[in-house]
Amino acid sequence: MAGMKSGKARAAYGAGSGGFRYLAGIKSDRGTAAFDIVIYTALIIFVILPVFAAVFEKYLIACKAQVVKDAVDLSNISVYNAINTGSLSKTALTFDNSEVADIYRQILSKNLNLNGDLTPKGNSVAEAAVTVDSLVGYTGGFPVECPNGKTITRPAIHSLVTVPVRPGLYRQMVLSLTGRRYIEMKVHVDTDIPLDK
């Protein structure tokens, strides 16, 4: 009761001497501080986090693409082993087609941590089975255009693989809303055959 009395007394005193205006000022400052917290939190949640998440995800996807590209390039190079040595003596460059796919799958599965049927092992960058969309060896008739539109002027191996990769953070949430679990990353690599002339 004493407290209430003194509160009333202070209010009455304040009313008479401009104290209410002072109290209103304090309330306003506290309100502004709370408003600042809300603004900064909103800034972090709705601006900084999504921007960083988007940049970081792009960076991660680019890194995964680099890993896959590296593995595909190694697999392309390995296909050289399927070059028909018999025809080389006739200055013709041909591939042993039965060997091409075998060597390619074997090296690709080793470098991407896949099983023989191109399904992923535990620590693979791929989240589901990898598919080889095209694998072509170009040995003559240059210039030729590969299925992805790139002009090839020298003996080369063209390959296109689809690797399902899982995005993180926000993109994963967006993807799950559409009922999908992975992004299908298409990696196209044309590797020149090293001819020593």
Partner 1 sequence: MPDRGIVFGVLFVAMISFVVMLVEIFLPVSKKIEMNIDCRSAMLKMELEGGLSDTERHRLETRMSGQGLTNVNIGGTSWAKQGGELKLRVDADYVYSRFSSIFSRENVTLHLVYDRTSIARKVLN
Which residues of the shown chain bind partner 1 in the complex (CB under 8 A)? 29-30, 32-33, 36-37, 40, 43-44, 48, 52, 56, 59-60, 63, 66-67, 70-71, 74, 77-78, 80-81, 83, 88, 93, 103, 107, 110-111, 193-197
Least gap, CB of 8 to partner 1 (angstroms): 26
- Exposed/middle/buried for residue 97 (C-beta within 10 Å: 0-12, 13-18, 19+): exposed
Minimum Å gap between C-beta 40 and partner 1 is 4
Nearer to partner 1, 102 or 145 (CB): 102
Please give the single-letter amino acid code of residue 52: F
- Return d(Cα 136, Cα 83) in angstroms, integer: 13
Amino acid identity at 110: K
Shortest spacing between CB 59 and partner 1, in angstroms: 7
In the complex, the smallest distance separating the C-beta of residue 33 from partner 1, rounded to whole angstroms, is 4
d(Cα 11, Cα 15) in Å, to the nearest integer?
6
- CB nearer to partner 1: give 12 or 39: 39
Task: Please identify, using beta-carbon distances, which residue of 16 and 140 lies nearer to partner 1.
Answer: 140
**Which amino acid is residue 40, in one-letter code?**
Y
Cα distance between residue 144 and residue 140, in whole Å: 8
Q: Which two tokens stand for residue 127?
A: 């989240």
Give 12 or 55: the residue with its C-beta nearer to partner 1: 55
Q: Which is nearer to partner 1, 110 or 180 (CB)?
A: 110
User: Measured from the CB of residue 95, what is the shortest distance to partner 1 in angstroms?
Assistant: 12
DSSP calls for 51-91:
HHHHHHHHHHHHHHHHHHHHHHHHHHHHGGGGB-HHHHTTT
Query: Measured from the CB atom, is 15 or 34 closer to partner 1?
Result: 34
Q: How far is CA 115 from CA 10, 53, 171, 179, in A?
A: 81, 32, 28, 26
Residue 180 Cβ, how far from partner 1 at the closest point, in Å?
A: 24
